[in-house]
Structure 1
C-alpha cells in the first residue's frame, strides 16, 4: 500500500505549494478590490439608467457572465497585445508587447470578471434598502452623503456580504486557472511537483487541503463581518408603534 499511496508525500508537498501561496492571494485580493470598485460603478450606471452607457453595461455584464473564465483569459492574453500593436501603428508609440508580465493578463481578466458579478450583487443590495428610511433621513435634513453613510451603506452592506463572500471564495479557487497565462500559482506548482515526483494524487490532495483551509479561514472572517455589521432588531417595544402598543397594554 505504501507504493500505491504515500501519506508522507502529501505533507512534504505542502511547503513547496505554500511557497507560491502569496501569488494566489495577490491575484485574489487585488482582483476582488478592483472588481468591487468597477462593480459599484457599473451598478450605479444601471440604477441611474444612464442612456447608452446603461445598455452597454448590460451587454457587457451579460457577455462576461455568459462566457467561461478560461475563454476570457485566452481573449485577454491575445487581445491586449493586439490592442497595443494597434496603438503603436496608429499613434507611432513603441510599447513593448513582448515584455508584458503574465500577471497583467490574469489580473485584468479576473478583475473584469468579478466586476460583472459584483455589480449585480451591489445593485441588488442597494435596491434592497427601504426607500421610506431614505426619505425619513432626508426629511431630518441629512445630506445625500450622510444618508449614504448612515442609512444606505450599512443596510446594503449586510445584504451584500454573504454573496460577495461567496464570490471571494470562488475567486480564490478560480486562481487555479492563472497557469493558462503562464503564472505559477499553487495549482501550477502542483503540476510541476507531481510531474517530477509522479505522486499526482498525493500532491493534488495536499493542494485540495490548502484550498480547504483557506476557504474555512475566509468563511470565519465573513461570519465575523456579518455579525460586526449586522443591524440589531430593535424589537416591537422600541418602535413607535410598539411603544404605543406597550403603553396601551399597561394602561389597560
Structure 2
C-alpha cells in the first residue's frame, strides 16, 4: 500500500479537534502536580512528621509503577464502586455514558504529583541554607522566609524540569485511548479504522504531539529568561537586607 499524504491531512483534520482534550489531560495534572507536589516537597524538606515519612515510602513505590498501570488501576478503582452503586440505585445509564476523561485526569494527576514533588524538592535543596538564615535574621517566620525568599529563588531552578515534566504529561496522556477516551491519538485513528491507513494516522498524531511539545519548549525558554531576571532582583534585595 503506497503512502498517501492525503490521508495524513485527513487524519490531521480529525485529530486537531481533540487537542483541547489532550491539553486538559496534561494542563490540569500539571497544575495539580505543582500545588500538591510543592506542598509534599516542603514537608520532606523540613521533615514534617508523618507526612514526610509517608512520602518517603509512597513516592518511590508510585514512581516505580508505569503510567499505564496507574490508568488501569484508577479505572477499576473508580468504576468498581460506581458499578456497585449503579446496580443498587439503578444508575446503569449514567454509568454507561460517563465521561472517562476524568478518570484519565485523576490517574495522570497522581503520577504528576509524584514526579513534580521530586522536581520541587531538588529546587528547594538547591537554595543555599544561608537564605533561610537571612530571612530569620530580619524577623521573618519559617513560612514567610519560604514564601518571600526561598520559593522565588527555587522556582527558576525548577522551571526547565517542570517544562520537561509538562512535555512528558502531554505525551503520556496518549494512553487514555486504552480506556476509550477520544484524544489526539484516538481521533487520528478514527479515520484509519475506516480506510486502514494506520501509518498515515500515526504520523498525523506524531506531528501534532511534536508541535505541542515544541511550543512548550519555546515558551519555557522565554519563561526562563524572565525568571532569571526576577531571581537576580530577589538576590539583590536579600543582600541589601543582610547589609542593613
- Aligned pair count reads 229
Equivalent position of 2:39 in the other structure:
41
Query: Which entry has the higher C-alpha Rg, 1 or 2?
Result: 1
The one of 172, 175, 185 equivalent to 1:174 is: 172
Residues 1:69 and 2:67 are matched in the alignment: yes
Show the counterpart of 1:105.
Answer: 103
State the distance in 1 between where 2:57 and 2:210 align. 35
Q: d(CA) in 2 for partners of 1:144 and 1:68?
A: 37
In structure 1, the residue matched to 2:193 is: 195
1:68-90 CA deviation, whole Å, 9 max, x = no partner?
Answer: 1111111111112335578x6xx
SS at match of 2:80: helix
Alpha-carbon displacement from aligned partner over 1:164-201 (angstroms, at most 9, x marks no partner): 11000010011110112221001111222211122211
Mapped partners of 1:12, 1:180: distance in 2: 23
Query: Which residue is 1:225 aligned to?
Result: 223
Q: In the aligned structure 2, how far is the partner of 1:49 from the partner of 1:145?
A: 14
Q: Which of 117, 120, 136 is 1:119 aligned to?
A: 117
Structure number having the greater helix percentage = 2
How has the CA–CA distance of structure 1 residues 66 and 183 changed in structure 2, closer, same or farther, with 3 Å as cutoff?
same
Is the CA contact 2:12–2:188 (under 8 Å) kept in the aligned structure 1? no
Question: How far apart in 1 are the matches of 2:55 and 2:90?
Answer: 29
Separation in 2 of the partners of 1:95 and 1:181? 23
CA contact (8 A) 1:35 1:115 kept: yes
Separation in 2 of the partners of 1:221 and 1:130? 28
TM-score by length of 2: 0.84
Alignment partners' CA distance in 2, 1:110 and 1:63? 16
Query: Which one has more relative contact order, counting CA pairs under 8 Å at least 6 apart?
Result: 2
Consecutive unaligned residues of structure 2, counting only runs of 5 or more, are none
Gap change, CA 1:96 and 1:64, over 3 Å in 2: farther
Alpha-carbon distance, 1:39 to partner: 0.8
Deviations 1:140-172 (CA, angstroms, capped at 9, x unpaired)? 234445433432112101110111110000100
